[in-house]
Structure 1
């Protein structure tokens, strides 16, 4: 008896996939609009449903509550981050940090991210959702940037995969921590001057972490 609803839902989900994708897009966009107008504390699932033109039950089938919905709505903003090849490791870092700061300057990102991070301090499942939906998805930029710098000869390739993974995690933590603190905690602008100074410090650290060969010194000079 318990298997019947799940089987029916699976079939319905497959049959209605395009409609579900459209509903998801509308719901997440409506969530961001509500964050801008109302802020996290006044946002309700009922308001989001009305804005998105869907039934409230549609939201509950996809998200267990407001926190999870806001995480996914904010995660879509961070998925906009890209790493165009700007010719050097330093220039690549500057470009992506400026993008990151611009996203954090948006009211829906600022209010949504701060709220769910605060809530996650007492909710392990929510913390894991933030990690999976935002943190782990954006680590791709570190891996992409490092591979490009290695191909240019700016950084040496680590021989140990475990060390490489640990270093990638550390780089992400340093970048994300510094930019979030600058923009959301200190409430100071991450302008071009700050980003250039931060990049010099980061590239210098990367050079030291990869044994400081001639290629890394070249990157630091950039």
Structure 2
């Protein structure tokens, strides 16, 4: 298991079994007690360890809860399902399933709320939860480029910005759907999100983005909506299969 002890701390060698028990006990306490009533003493009792064992690993409740939630996201992976659309759909299904867990809901929302007043906690959330998921975005994009589904990146700065944007769109949509709107991120919704994202990724190009949107909006040509021709019957023109076809792309 990945060590989540803050950098620079020293002491006796850590026990992976104790770490696992402590993080599992933290998630259990989150579900039963909530953030406000959770204490390190209760977690220690549930995990069957001394309270000093927790303090040797974590400086307080905030760090402990973030690491307990982050461990859930350690299970996220991006298996090759044969296409960009299928890869996106597969990893978003995993992400949504994790966010549907009561311990993920309680822990993540509380940690994010606390991080508004705690820069160190915000950075820990970024390093433990956000950055590893952004690595999956980079992996998926590289795979799609190797397949010829996406053009190669020529500008490293723009490539990094695009990767951040992809993550923000996917994570933001799923988090809002599950934690804010309290609506299910089911397979139908995820397929719709996937289609929208793939449409944007595959229909954009440097030549398209460089041309002003009003170029064709002369006196006799009112500007048409950019997606006017992207209806269900015309999706193939943009390199995006109809929504239902995504189901057949998984192995």
Q: TM-score band (shorter)?
A: 0.7 to 0.9
State how far apart, in whole Å, the 2-side matches of 1:166 and 1:59 are: 38
Residues matched between the structures, number = 208
How far residue 219 of structure 1 moved from its aligned partner, in angstroms, is: 4.6
Quote the residue 2:102 is aligned against: 107
**Distance change >3 Å, CA 86–CA 49, structure 1 → 2:** same
Quote the residue 1:169 is aligned against: 164
How far residue 21 of structure 1 moved from its aligned partner, in angstroms, is: 2.1
Cα deviation code 1:20-76 (max 9, x no counterpart): 222211111111111122222221100100111111111111111111100000001
Unaligned runs of 5+ residues in structure 1 are 1-8
Quote the residue 2:20 is aligned against: 25
Is 1:151 the counterpart of 2:146 in the alignment?
yes
Quote the residue 2:75 is aligned against: 80
Is 1:137 the counterpart of 2:158 in the alignment?
no
Unaligned runs of 5+ residues in structure 2 are 1-8, 209-235, 247-251
State how far apart, in whole Å, the 1-side matches of 2:99 and 2:207 are: 33
Quote the residue 2:60 is aligned against: 65
State how far apart, in whole Å, the 1-side matches of 2:81 and 2:204 are: 23
Quote the residue 1:4 is aligned against: none
The secondary structure found in structure 2 opposite 1:39 is helix
How far residue 85 of structure 1 moved from its aligned partner, in angstroms, is: 1.3
**Distance change >3 Å, CA 158–CA 102, structure 1 → 2:** same
Contact kept? 1:90, 1:203, Cα under 8 Å? yes
User: Which one has the bigger helix percentage?
Assistant: 1
Contact kept? 2:203, 2:239, Cα under 8 Å? no
* TM-score w.r.t. length of structure 1: 0.87
The secondary structure found in structure 2 opposite 1:127 is helix
Quote the residue 1:189 is aligned against: 184
State how far apart, in whole Å, the 2-side matches of 1:216 and 1:141 are: 28
Contact kept? 1:155, 1:216, Cα under 8 Å? no
RMSD: 2.0
* TM-score w.r.t. length of structure 2: 0.78
State how far apart, in whole Å, the 1-side matches of 2:111 and 2:182 are: 18
